[in-house]
Amino acid sequence: MSESSLIQIKGIKDGLLVSLGDASWNVLQSTLIEHIEQQPAFFQGARLALDVGKNSLKSAELSTLRDKLSENGIMLWAILSESPVTEKTAQFLGLATRISKPLPQEHRVSQEPVDEKTLFIHKTIRSGNRIDSSGHVIIFGDVNPGAEIIAAGNVIVWGRLRGVVHAGAEGDRNAVVCALELSPTQLRIAEQIAISPDRHGKPLPEIVRIKDGQLQAETWNSG
């Protein structure tokens, strides 16, 4: 296969968008690097978004590529992929997975149900990690300060929630956030923003939703 059909480059608002064709990752990666090394002046200092198509990539593969690109003076900032594995990997490496995020329109109440897709994550979400989902997010673990959870739907944390969380990020005012221990740096539902009040005593599981136009937290009680 010729090189030109494997790599397509176009200029976008945020730099360059490179789309890779169908081939093994090794071939794609070396073709891309070769291509860059042939035109160093064109690529020097570029911000690159990479569309990897169906390839499902592990973090070692992505971080190697990122290192190689940065050796050539290129900053990789986004990975676009049809593979959920690659999307997750990219998010854990702190890379964007969408080129332009649709901004939530003010006062828009989304009537249509959010994407029913749910992202389930079983690990501690640490500072610098960002989880971005067009559906619901369930975290089985802690969300540490400095981490961000952004979901179009609900966010459920079976653990301590101490980072920034945004449920209903595309405008759904019916979205909720719940956690076993709720003390987020900042909590947003749709366009509403709140910070945690100082808390005393033993933390209890809580659920936050918009009530009477305000964010309200309720303790969860069984029965």
Partner 1 sequence: MTAKIITVTSGKGGVGKTTTVANISVALALEGKKVVCIDGDIGLRNLDVILGLENRIVYDLVDIVEGRCRTRQAMIRDKRLPDLFLIPAAQIRDKNAVSPSDMIRLCDELKPEVDFILIDSPAGIERGFRNSIAPADQILIVTNPEMSAVRDADRVIGLLEADGKNPPSLIINRLNPSMVRRGDMLSMEDVFDLLRIDVIGIIPEDENVILASNKGTPLALDGKTKAGQAFRNISRRLNGEQVPFLDLNHQNIWDRFGWRR
Please, which residue, 143 or 156, has the CB nearer to partner 1? Answer: 143
Tell me how many residues contact partner 1 (CB under 8 A).
23
How far apart CA 111 and CA 182 sit, in angstroms, is 28
Contact between 126 and partner 1 by CB under 8 A: the answer reads: yes
How far apart CA 223 and CA 221 sit, in angstroms, is 6
Please, which residue, 31 or 63, has the CB nearer to partner 1? Answer: 63
Question: Which listed residue (93, 138, 194, 207) binds partner 1 by CB under 8 A?
Answer: 93
How far apart CA 187 and CA 183 sit, in angstroms, is 9
What is the Cα Rg of the chain in Å?
A: 20
Please, which residue, 94 or 102, has the CB nearer to partner 1? Answer: 94
Contact between 203 and partner 1 by CB under 8 A: the answer reads: no
How far apart CA 79 and CA 49 sit, in angstroms, is 6
Q: Which stretch binds partner 1 (CB under 8 A): 1-9, 46-54, 122-130, 168-176?
A: 122-130
* Shortest separation between residue 64's beta carbon and partner 1, angstroms: 9
Q: Which stretch binds partner 1 (CB under 8 A): 96-104, 119-127, 186-194, 214-222?
A: 119-127
Helix, strand, coil % in the chain, rounded to nearest 5: 20, 35, 45
Question: Which listed residue (43, 55, 92, 132) binds partner 1 by CB under 8 A?
Answer: 92
Please, which residue, 130 or 166, has the CB nearer to partner 1? Answer: 130
How far apart CA 188 and CA 117 sit, in angstroms, is 20
Residue 93 per-residue DSSP state: T
CB atoms within 10 A of CB 102: 11
Please, which residue, 4 or 30, has the CB nearer to partner 1? Answer: 30
Q: Rule CB under 8 A: which of 137-196 touch partner 1?
A: 142, 144-147
DSSP calls for 155-195: EEEEEEE-SEEEESTTS-TT--EEEEEE--SEEEETTEEE-
* Shortest separation between residue 215's beta carbon and partner 1, angstroms: 25
Contact between 123 and partner 1 by CB under 8 A: the answer reads: yes
Q: Rule CB under 8 A: which of 61-90 touch partner 1?
A: 63, 67, 70-71, 89
Residue type, 177: V
CA 34 to chain CA mean position, Å: 30
Binding positions for partner 1, rule: CB under 8 A:
58-60, 63, 67, 70-71, 89, 92-94, 123-129, 142, 144-147
